[in-house]
Amino acid sequence: MADQQKTIFVTGAGSGIGRATAKLFAERGYFVGLFDVNPQGLEETAAMLPDGQRISMTFDVRDRAGWKRAVETFGQATNRRMHVLFNNAGVGKGGFIDEMTDDDIDLVLDVNLKGVINGVNAALPLLRETPGARIVNTASVAGIFGAPRMSIYCATKFGVRGLTDALDVELSRYGIRVTSLMPWFIDTAILDGTPTDGSNRRIRDALVENKTPIYPVSMAAERAWDAAHGNEVHYMVGKAAERARFFARFFPGAMRNQVKKQFGNE
């Protein structure tokens, strides 16, 4: 890679927002590290990027030893530079809390929240060595308001939002900025998942039925670029996300009623 080339480490790069963001940053000159638990998805993403402008490696963000190996591999390829850590890997399992299995609850907590914390700790040595480094954590509008059948998911995204706020202050002593990406519903494979209540009905089906906006993944990638370069802390994706932030702050009662109406609680 070129001496002056910037670098980004992307988790969840095998699909969705991670894949779209990796492609966008590569198109804009970044050297990209692609990381995902899914080897097939990772291989497909890698094929979309130019040779010599990316490396890829399979690992699970729940695995601290895996994080260490991935960061070491990335550092060897980039002369120990990491301009952006994109903590993006996540899972979207949901359902009423008393109908979720312990394994599903642990999976969501361990990937969506603990995986982000693991990434910060593992990448911090490289980030500290890189002037102007930044961490971008994928949160969600689910980190602004709670919704039925999403309690554990919301808990993780509220956690990522709070972690981002705290770390942006805490890591400023190293010159590192920390921001979050907060999408509304994005057109990814997560929407094709089903709840844990035994229904075959997809999340996407309920959204379409309720005329809930679904935004293209390219929009999320563009906002990830903004989060990696802008001055704000939290970056909403989509007008619906902006409205949700406004109403959650200034009209929480109205927001709660809208959530009940739109997402149902029965």
Residue 1 maps to a domain: no
Residue 167 maps to a domain: yes
Residue 114 maps to a domain: yes
**pLDDT value at residue 1:** 64
Query: Above 60 in pLDDT, residue 6?
Result: yes
Stretch 3-12: mean pLDDT, rounded?
A: 93
Q: Which positions are catalytic?
A: 153
Domain CATH for 144: 3.40.50.720
The dihedral of CA 18, 1, 225, 84: what is its sign? Answer: positive
Report the mean per-residue pLDDT for the chain: 90
Structural domain range at position 25? 7-263
Query: Above 70 in pLDDT, residue 69?
Result: yes
Query: Above 80 in pLDDT, residue 53?
Result: yes
* pLDDT tens digits, one per residue of 143-190: 998 888 889 999 999 999 999 999 999 999 999 999 999 998 776 766
Q: How many separate domains does the chain show?
A: 1
Residue 215 maps to a domain: yes
Residue 2 maps to a domain: no
Residue 93 maps to a domain: yes
Give residue 21's identity as a one-letter amino acid code: T
Query: How far apart are alpha carbons 85 and 80 in whole angstroms?
Result: 13
Query: How far apart are alpha carbons 140 and 180 in whole angstroms?
Result: 9
* pLDDT tens digits, one per residue of 14-39: 999 999 999 999 999 999 999 999 99
Stretch 114-134: mean pLDDT, rounded?
A: 98
Residue 45 maps to a domain: yes
* pLDDT tens digits, one per residue of 179-224: 999 998 776 766 666 555 455 566 665 666 666 667 789 999 999 9
- Using a cut of 0.75, tell me whether the model's pTM lies above it: yes
What strands, in cross-sheet order, belong to the sheet with 31-36?
54-58, 31-36, 7-11, 84-87, 134-138, 177-183, 234-237
**pLDDT value at residue 55:** 97
**pLDDT value at residue 264:** 61
Query: How far apart are alpha carbons 112 and 133 in whole angstroms?
Result: 22
What phi, psi does 59 have (nearest 5°)?
Answer: -165, 165
Residue 90 maps to a domain: yes
